[in-house]
Amino acid sequence: NMPLAEVVIDKAEHLKFIDVAFTGVDHIPMEAARKKGIAVSNASGYATQAVAELCVSFMIQLLRNVNKTEKRCRTGGTKDGLIGNLLCGKTVGIVGAGAIGKRTAALCKAFGCTVLAYNRSKITDASVDRQVSLEELLSSADIVSLHCPLTEETRGLVGRKLLALMKPTAFLINTARGALVDELALAEALGQGRLAGAGLDVLTQEPPEPGNPLLSAQNCVITPHVAWAAKEARERLIRIVAENLRRYQEGRPQNVVS
């Protein structure tokens, strides 16, 4: 998923098809591909379950103080002051109700959560209790989970203004794209106790620079973009990419994003 330079598209005179082995295509110069009539397919759906499961894992880790209690245990400490909370009964807000957002919603419903969702188009999914505005979702949810694509409209979406709407007891989960979040604003909110915690699988720069403020932020669980990295998801990815190519060669392209 390294960025593909636009000059590559310009110079590749015989290029007809780009088969992306990921869901996101924000690393592809899509406009340049469109201008040259180059088809682009992605591997949408390969990691839906894998990402949704990690989202729920983050929720439980944060609610049950897993990082803090583990450190206590390794140093001979106790659970004193670290009694956690259940996921059951919490209100979860899903920002972006695509396939992964909906699957995360379904898993949360199985745990007994109330699920709110914000999406630009109408949601018809049994796992979502109510479709609400972004502002209502942020102010009402105990846990906010980001599942929207990175576009110029969504870049920096969750900054100081929107973070200020969240409950001080709430958690933010991001397994979508790091640049959806203003990292300095999030670190400040965590440090000042205006947000209870965060679970992040993505950052604006990966791997992060040593000075990234989230690396030392309070109650922040960070993983290095591994939400997709399950053996079963990888196998599904390979099958989808191969099928994309076969279908394109037969003149029946699938998973086309351009």
- pLDDT for 19-71, tens place per residue? 999 888 888 999 999 999 999 999 999 999 999 999 999 999 999 999 999 99
Q: Comparing C-alpha atoms, which of 223, 179, 201, 213 is closest to residue 100?
A: 201
Contact (Cβ atoms closer than 8 angstroms) between residue 140 and residue 168 = no
Q: How high is the pLDDT of residue 79?
A: 85
Contact (Cβ atoms closer than 8 angstroms) between residue 221 and residue 56 = no
What is the b/e burial string over 247-258, where b = at least 16 CB atoms within 10 angstroms of the residue's CB?
ebeeeebebebe
Contacts of 162 (CB under 8 A, 6+ apart): 134, 135, 138
Which residue in the list 103, 147, 177, 236 is annotated as catalytic? Answer: 177
Which residue in the list 64, 72, 155, 225 is annotated as catalytic? Answer: 225
pLDDT tens-place string over residues 101-134: 999 999 999 999 999 999 999 998 899 999 999 9
Count CA atoms closer than 13 A to 58's CA, side-chain side: 32
Q: Note if 206 is an active site residue.
A: yes
pLDDT tens-place string over residues 217-246: 999 999 999 999 999 999 999 999 999 999
Contact (Cβ atoms closer than 8 angstroms) between residue 194 and residue 217 = no
Q: Note if 243 is an active site residue.
A: no
Q: How high is the pLDDT of residue 31?
A: 93
Q: How high is the pLDDT of residue 23?
A: 84
Task: Name the phi and psi angles at 178, rounded to 5.
Answer: -60, -35
pLDDT tens-place string over residues 160-207: 999 999 999 999 999 999 999 999 999 999 999 999 999 999 999 999
pLDDT tens-place string over residues 44-57: 999 999 999 999 99
Query: 258 pLDDT exceeds 80?
Result: no
Which residue in the list 31, 206, 232, 235 is annotated as catalytic? Answer: 206
- Rounded CA Rg of the chain: 20
Q: How high is the pLDDT of residue 1?
A: 65
Q: State the pTM of this model.
A: 0.88
Contacts of 50 (CB under 8 A, 6+ apart): 227, 228, 229, 230, 232, 233
Q: Note if 103 is an active site residue.
A: no
